[in-house]
Chains A and B, each alone.
Chain A
Amino acid sequence: MIKYINLFLIISSILLISCEKDIEIVLPDAKTKLVVEGNIEQGRPPFVMLTKTSPFFSPTDINSLQNSFVKNAIVTVSNGTTTVQLQEICTNQLPDSLLPAIAELIGVNLESLKNFGFCLYTTLNPAIFGEVGKSYTLSIQSGNEILTSITQIPSLVLPNKFWYKDQPGFTDFGYIWFELTDPPQIGNAYRAFTQRKGKDSRFIPVLGSVFDDQFINGLTFDGVFLRGKELNSKAPDDLAETADYFQQGDTIIIKFCTIDQRNYKFWDTFEIAAFNSGNPFSSPVTIQTNINGGLGIWGGYGVSYDTLVAVDL
């Protein structure tokens, strides 16, 4: 909802802005920090990508991105009874069936993932595959630095139903609607992804992908999902005026996840920071990491899947 206010501020500022120019800025040297991008879902191995921060204006080519990957770290995941050390594996060594999950983790399309190849820490040991209701402790040792975090795969909450509806003023374009009954206790949080069959190569987070029950605790209510896009997508339907909509006829797999509060806070602040970028009135948003000693996220997901054929009934 806060996005509406921000929108209002941005519109106001656009109305007033008369000109802008490129400027050169000299920024002080920053200490390098470790960044974790990791997740675990039920029935899947933990994936942990470990990178480091780069100076703000450092080169941004693909080599430097691959160079930011941190090798030779000792990464372990524990579910309380079993502790497993993850292996450093590059994507070309992994079975193809796991690649979409990694594409989702890193936020690239499958093609880029295959072209460039990324390295990450994971395991094929099923003893540490995710289970609903369990907590997972992540420990990382890299050089002298020690990073820790804990996340939970919360119990599943399944939406009552999904449906598609044309947006007023449009034919064949609209949002995905859902009805959800939030459990009575406070603290539930959710994240949603969609994948259009034949159009998307992976699950893409919907626009504003997380919400919690701060305002809807215990309620049954209707909500919508706006279609998310691949970053910098040049696909015609991602550049069209209808880019935020699903199209009538699409077959859409909806991945609806329960997440814990720390995971929610991270994605909420992350999305607001991304949204606020360039908004003159917003203070820099501090992204609330759940990694002790570093940045990023170690997130558990309780995942449910539904398939919807977009037809306005």
Chain B
Amino acid sequence: MKQFWLIFLMIIVFVLNVDFVVAQNYTISGTIKDATTNETTVGTTIYVKETLQGTSTNEKGFFSITLPKGTYTLVISYIGYKEIEIPVELNKNIKINEKIEPTAITKEAFEVVGEKENINTTQAEMGSVELEMEKVKTLPAIFGEIDILKTIQLLPGVQTAGEGNSGFYVRGGGPDQNLVLLDGATVYNASHLFGFFSVFNADAINDVKLYKGAMPAEFGGRLSSVLDISMNDGDMKNYKVDGGIGVISSRLTIQGPIKKDKASFLMSARRTYAGDIAQPFISDSSKFKGSNYYFYDFNAKINYIISSKDKLSLSGYYGRDVFVFNNSDDGFGLETPWGNAIASLRWNHIYNDKLFADFTAAFTNYNFEVKATQDQFGFRLYSGITDWNLKADFNYLPSILHQVKFGAAYTFHKFTPNNAEVNSGDVDFNTGDVIINYANEGAVYVSDDWDLSEKIKIQAGLRYTIYQHIGPFKRFNNDALGNPIDTVVYKKGETVKYYQGLEPRLAARYQFNSSSSLKASFSQNYQYIHLATISTVSLPTDAWLPSTEVTKPQFATQYVLGYFKNFAQNKWESSVEVYYKDMKNQVEYKEGALPKDDGGNNVDNNLTFGRGWSYGAEFFIKKRVGKFNGWVGYTLAWTKRQFDEINEGKVFYARYDRRHDVSLVFNYDISKRLVLGATWVYATGNALTLPISRYFIEGQIVNEYGERNSFRMDAFHRMDLAITLKGKETKRFKSSWNFSIYNVYNRKNPYFIYFANEGSAFDGTLDIQAKQVSLFGIIPSIAWNFKF
């Protein structure tokens, strides 16, 4: 702990030192807002016409530039807004609070990825992508359910786990290695219905940013990526209602001022009703009466501008999936609710023109539960994770050449992995103690975006993390058959295991000219939590686990090299990135482990540990603007794993290893009212393990499996189309129809393969047939969206 504070202190000293060096200059700072809604605009470019140096507004709409004394012209520009120029006589520190107005024409058009011109070639960091929600909304979506996670999966280097799966895999990393943040709070399970839909209601989302390369030092705790999602603030001037009615769900968002220009609110709700619609068709006499499935989400946010220097916001999310199954035939009933509850409180404070801060207190909880009853038997399995999190992030702009970020974070984790309760009548079976794990996680960081020269820019960061697994905790030492030999008991607050690590992050850019650059990055990350998956896909049953004396923290090193080139006045962007990522202390269940082995045991007693590594190349070309815009991404990649106790110690491909992955995304504005969106994806088939021989036990066929993941399913490819037709606009009311066709050419993509055995070997009628199951054929859907 001493070390922790020492480093923190050093960071502060470092920052203050820099301050002394640049004390001669003056600072221009302020916030940029949308003139119509009074909401801050993220990523607005502010540059100095004379020197061509510039900056952009941060997540809070704040910017700051420090320059030597002189006369300058500031240019403020933001896509879809009128550009403004402001002459400045700089002989003292100046505040500029500007409002920018949307342009009539560009409001109708939208950018594929809403970002500043040139940013891809000028910034040092690589592999960060921002999605503009307006654009996401015109892309095709299954059942018309707009889904940002599905859009993320269309980017190079980001892969799906298969059809209808929201879990995403970044550069060979598992779905647990992505940090998903909603207004600063961690989202542990970002999907509904086993991953067919994401938990993010598009109407409530303002901004989505993905970091897949070297993540900035302000983020940590995960190996592969950060998906930073911010909710809409709520309109400060007018009340607004957005809604949509779709085939399987409806949603409604209300926002408006609580106090004009001072405080605003936003509430958004969504619920599916496919299962409810089916209810009347399940007759009263049906044995399945009462069975249902639905999910719902609720988002809320309150914003309060206390002063020009202080802003408070409180965000919340609550969502649940509920699956109820009844079969009166055998008296079987099952109910499984699961979902996230998330809250965060943020305070933005501007100390002065050069220093501003963000303080966040967040709570997040993910729970899964199965309750089953049959006759007098009852069964309950539950697992979950709860985090309490405090964060302080500082942004310090000592000069136009530096952007310094520093801060600290603390998280208290509570893990409840796979606990079961079983009873028969009044007798409670002894399923062991309820096992709950507690851990502290802390981090301090500092980073600097530094323009070394006109050509060279570096982003250097250092993150130091500590982790402490604390009691109460019971370690079960078991024999080879899993029967307990003895237990070690740790008292409340006692340290079970302590880990710490330094995580250097370095990204550098060399700019050849205004339209091309070469970038390289190196990063190391620790991850102290693990997701153990016993099945072949991510399921809500997967339990989050802490690092313990048995499970060591995951550790990744990533190297990336990229070349970026823009064409035709930045209308076209292109890039090539190559990467190598090494991941240590990866977890898998031991071969032959069963979920029930976790009962009354430490889950990590059933785990085995190994190494993963991946490498590949990503090609990306994008047309940013114009009637016809979109992108093409291609990834060539290898993802491998090696575990001493799996596959006889031999190297095997990860299940989501994809040699080829192609995404085509297009938007075409046919007219002012009509937009066509199209996507096409192609991916090498999933790797899977298949039986290669068989034998008989008690007359039943038993499969003997081949090497792990040594077989490939057929390639996956699919085309989707969407047409958005905007209704006649009135001043008060806007509406649009969205027609989507999922899987236009009705490709039967493999979802899984199984072997059907029919007949009996003993009468010579045995027949074994491989069968491939596909999920979705062509699915047209329609949704009506409105706004007033």
Chain A residues positioned under 8 Å from B694 (CB to CB): 53-54, 56
Residues A5 and B702 in contact in the complex (CB < 8 Å), given A270-B697, A277-B755? no
Say yes or no: A205 contacts B422, CB within 8 Å: no
Q: Of the 9-residue stretches B76-84, B396-404, B426-434, B543-551, which lies at the interface with chain A?
A: B426-434
Chain A residues positioned under 8 Å from B483 (CB to CB): 186-187, 261
* Chain A positions 106-151 with a Cβ under 8 Å from a chain B Cβ: 106-108, 112, 116
The distance in angstroms between the C-alpha atoms of A112 and B329, with both chains bound, is 33
A96 touches B (CB below 8 Å): no
Closest to A175 in B: B375
A: residues with CB less than 8 A from B are 1-2, 4-5, 7-9, 11-12, 15-25, 27-30, 32-33, 35, 37, 51-57, 60-62, 65, 68, 105-108, 112, 116, 167-169, 186-187, 205, 214-224, 231-232, 241, 244, 261-262, 265, 268-270, 272-274, 277-288, 295-297
Chain A residues positioned under 8 Å from B600 (CB to CB): 214-215
* Chain B positions 425-460 with a Cβ under 8 Å from a chain A Cβ: 425, 427, 429-432
Chain A residues positioned under 8 Å from B768 (CB to CB): 56-57, 60
Chain A residues positioned under 8 Å from B751 (CB to CB): 17, 280
Say yes or no: A283 contacts B535, CB within 8 Å: yes
Chain B residues positioned under 8 Å from A241 (CB to CB): 329
Closest to B691 in A: A56
The distance in angstroms between the C-alpha atoms of A279 and B756, with both chains bound, is 11
Chain A residues positioned under 8 Å from B692 (CB to CB): 27-30, 55-56
Closest to B431 in A: A215
Contacts beyond the supplied A57-B768, A108-B699: 13 A-B pairs with Cβ under 8 Å:
A1-B381, A1-B422, A4-B379, A19-B777, A20-B772, A20-B774, A21-B774, A28-B710, A30-B704, A107-B699, A215-B422, A284-B703, A285-B594
Taking a contact as CB atoms closer than 8 A, the residue among B325, B376, B757 that contacts A8 in the complex is B325
B693 touches A (CB below 8 Å): yes
**13 CB < 8 A contacts A-B:** A2-B596, A4-B374, A8-B370, A15-B293, A17-B751, A23-B772, A27-B706, A106-B696, A187-B483, A261-B481, A273-B703, A280-B751, A296-B695
Residues A17 and B773 in contact in the complex (CB < 8 Å), given A35-B695, A53-B704? yes
B280 touches A (CB below 8 Å): no
Chain B 151-171: CB-based contact to A (< 8 A → 1; otherwise 0): 000000000000010000000
Say yes or no: B595 contacts A287, CB within 8 Å: no
Say yes or no: A219 contacts B427, CB within 8 Å: yes
Say yes or no: B776 contacts A265, CB within 8 Å: no
The distance in angstroms between the C-alpha atoms of A74 and B761, with both chains bound, is 27
Chain B residues positioned under 8 Å from A61 (CB to CB): 764, 766
Closest to A24 in B: B770
Residues A23 and B481 in contact in the complex (CB < 8 Å), given A1-B422, A52-B695? no
3 tightest A-B contacts by CB? A107-B699, A107-B698, A280-B752
Closest to A105 in B: B698
Taking a contact as CB atoms closer than 8 A, the residue among A17, A35, A68 that contacts B775 in the complex is A17
The distance in angstroms between the C-alpha atoms of A224 and B425, with both chains bound, is 12
The distance in angstroms between the C-alpha atoms of A262 and B592, with both chains bound, is 13
Q: Of the 9-residue stretches B213-221, B330-338, B516-524, which lies at the interface with chain A?
A: B330-338
Q: Tell me how many residues of B have a C-beta within 8 Å of chain A.
A: 93
* B486 CB, min distance to chain A CBs, angstroms: 12
Chain B 688-723: CB-based contact to A (< 8 A → 1; otherwise 0): 011111111111101111100011001000000000
* A154 CB, min distance to chain B CBs, angstroms: 14
Chain B 530-561: CB-based contact to A (< 8 A → 1; otherwise 0): 00001111010100000000000000000000
Say yes or no: B334 contacts A8, CB within 8 Å: yes
* B382 CB, min distance to chain A CBs, angstroms: 12
The distance in angstroms between the C-alpha atoms of A295 and B596, with both chains bound, is 23
The distance in angstroms between the C-alpha atoms of A54 and B702, with both chains bound, is 11
Chain B residues positioned under 8 Å from A272 (CB to CB): 594
Chain B residues positioned under 8 Å from A52 (CB to CB): 695
Taking a contact as CB atoms closer than 8 A, the residue among A214, A224, A231, A284 that contacts B691 in the complex is A284
Say yes or no: A54 contacts B693, CB within 8 Å: yes
Say yes or no: A295 contacts B695, CB within 8 Å: yes
B194 touches A (CB below 8 Å): yes
* Chain B positions 68-110 with a Cβ under 8 Å from a chain A Cβ: none
Taking a contact as CB atoms closer than 8 A, the residue among B336, B535, B714, B764 that contacts A281 in the complex is B535
B591 touches A (CB below 8 Å): yes
Closest to A168 in B: B331
Say yes or no: B429 contacts A216, CB within 8 Å: yes
The distance in angstroms between the C-alpha atoms of A62 and B696, with both chains bound, is 13
Say yes or no: A277 contacts B754, CB within 8 Å: yes
Taking a contact as CB atoms closer than 8 A, the residue among B376, B534, B689, B693 that contacts A55 in the complex is B693
Say yes or no: A21 contacts B761, CB within 8 Å: no
B281 touches A (CB below 8 Å): no
Chain B 325-355: CB-based contact to A (< 8 A → 1; otherwise 0): 1001111001010000000000000000000
Say yes or no: B424 contacts A221, CB within 8 Å: yes
Chain A residues positioned under 8 Å from B541 (CB to CB): 5
Chain A residues positioned under 8 Å from B760 (CB to CB): 231-232
Say yes or no: A20 contacts B698, CB within 8 Å: no
Taking a contact as CB atoms closer than 8 A, the residue among B425, B537, B704, B771 that contacts A20 in the complex is B771
* B743 CB, min distance to chain A CBs, angstroms: 10
Chain B residues positioned under 8 Å from A217 (CB to CB): 430
Chain B residues positioned under 8 Å from A24 (CB to CB): 770
Closest to B593 in A: A286
* A10 CB, min distance to chain B CBs, angstroms: 11
Say yes or no: A168 contacts B375, CB within 8 Å: yes
Say yes or no: A231 contacts B700, CB within 8 Å: yes
Say yes or no: A221 contacts B372, CB within 8 Å: no
Chain B residues positioned under 8 Å from A232 (CB to CB): 759-760, 765
The distance in angstroms between the C-alpha atoms of A62 and B595, with both chains bound, is 37
Taking a contact as CB atoms closer than 8 A, the residue among A60, A270, A280, A286 that contacts B591 in the complex is A286
Closest to A106 in B: B699
Say yes or no: B595 contacts A5, CB within 8 Å: yes
* B484 CB, min distance to chain A CBs, angstroms: 7
Say yes or no: B762 contacts A282, CB within 8 Å: no
* Chain B positions 649-708 with a Cβ under 8 Å from a chain A Cβ: 689-700, 702-706
Say yes or no: A8 contacts B323, CB within 8 Å: yes
B496 touches A (CB below 8 Å): no
Chain B 281-299: CB-based contact to A (< 8 A → 1; otherwise 0): 0000000000001000000
* A153 CB, min distance to chain B CBs, angstroms: 18
